Amino acid sequence: MKLPLDCDVAIIGGGIIGLSIAVSLQQTGKTVIVIDRFDKLINASRNNAGAFAFADILPLATPQIIRSASKWLLDPAGPLYIHPAYIFSIFPWMVRFWRASWQDKFQKLLQAQASLMALSRDALERQVMELKAEPLLRRNGQLRIYQHKENFDRSAMFWNACSQHNVRYTLLNSAEEIAEIQPGLNSNYEHAGFTPDWINVTDPNHWVQHIKDIFIARGGKWVDKKVDRIFPSQNDVLIKMQEHKVSASFCVVAAGAWSSKLASKIGDKIPLDTERGYNVTLPNSDFDLKTHLTFAEHGFVVSTINQAIRVGGAVEFAGLTRPPNFNRADALLKKAENFMPGLLNGSGYDRWMGFRPSLPDSLPVIDYSSFSKRVLYAFGHGHLGLTQAAGTAELVRDLMLGQNPAINLSAFSVKRF
């Protein structure tokens, strides 16, 4: 006799990807359980810069990045750092990253990224309306700033991609034009691009909590456990935890940086690694931030979180277990103070480090497991998890319901590696 299932769908991972999938599936009548060992100290979904970065359609592995990487690696405070003890671990990932920058790969990756961005941009508006979440958004655009004219000129690849994929922008060529949008910046900045349709959340923690509260109010269940293993069968999936288990018709793995370990136990070997990102939050700064700022040459951004200012960015490869190196957070803040005089005229700030789950070709996995149609993967979004969450949720919903996805998912296949 077949035992009754605990739910239609069990989702492993309660970050922005997992919760967005959960509420999307609830709309179709599915019963859903989310399983996540909550840790507010490292939760990237709740502590990021709060940007829906729909303009960032270029894959990270561009030819320009490859040329710059060697210089950055020599700078302890630069945008990219690899811990010496982690070099051999990350080397296969970096080889794939380098290969993704080749022209034959890059153009296909750009097209795939742009298609997911376009879907996610529209899906976000549907999600905002359905969840009545407009008060949690800021629609103040983004100013992408360049310190050196040669770097601004090299950014033509970025702006051309924006033109090709319907991202509105205006290029600025004087400190006066920049000051009309954001006063108070270092006057040496004379080149920028403004993307007016850029959106931020007022606070990523509030955004995720809003979705979680709706999920619970609609009958969703939350299990605060660490998943040890998934056992798919022909008719269902058993999810085992310490002293606990859940059975479901389907399982979605959306566990961020920890997803590949679960996938590997099923048999899918996916080259997921983690970009450790840092930020500092200044609750008492008097700097009047008007828009989201991206300092493209230096690898960091500045955004408003509630009434505070958050400076975040950089990429560090050091694995999941090494303690944070908060000198990198302090270096971000020091750079920001040079470019935004008066930023530190308040007192005190909070430092944070979190994990961005990243695949070497800059695209997530959105696909069934190679070994079971009862298990779906939705992870590897890198620094674009918040941005692509609503679109990913719709794609997972369509796969689970047996419907044709809105975009071609071949580039997001688990088998591409």
pTM above 0.85, yes or no: yes
Q: Which residues pair with 247 in a beta bridge?
A: 238
Query: Which sequence spans correspond to the domains of the chain?
Result: 7-45+206-271+362-416, 58-103+137-198+273-358
DSSP state of 381: B
Question: CATH for 58-103+137-198+273-358, among 3.30.9.10, 3.40.710.10, 3.20.20.10, 3.20.20.140?
Answer: 3.30.9.10
The pLDDT value recorded for residue 68 is 65
**Tokens read off for 214:** 């709706």
The per-residue b/e assignment along 161-181, b for 16 or more CB within 10 angstroms, e otherwise, is bbeebebebeebeeeeebeeb
Q: Which residues pair with 357 in a beta bridge?
A: 274
Superfamily of domain 7-45+206-271+362-416: FAD/NAD(P)-binding domain (3.50.50.60)
The pLDDT value recorded for residue 1 is 36
What's the CA gap between 49 and 304, in Å, rounded? 8
The pLDDT value recorded for residue 2 is 52
The pLDDT tens digits along the chain (417 residues) read 355 779 999 999 999 999 999 999 999 999 999 999 876 655 788 999 999 999 999 988 776 666 666 666 656 566 788 888 999 999 999 999 988 888 888 899 999 999 999 999 999 999 999 999 999 999 999 999 999 999 999 999 999 999 999 999 999 999 999 999 999 999 889 999 999 999 999 999 999 999 999 999 999 999 999 999 999 999 999 999 988 999 999 999 999 999 999 999 999 999 999 999 999 999 988 899 999 999 988 889 999 999 999 999 888 999 999 999 999 899 889 889 989 988 887 668 899 999 999 999 999 999 999 999 999 999 999 999 999 999 999 999 999 999 999 999 999 999 998
The pLDDT value recorded for residue 76 is 59
Least Cα distance to 107 among 169, 75, 53, 61 occurs for 61
DSSP string, 137-156: EE---EEEEESSHHHHHHTH
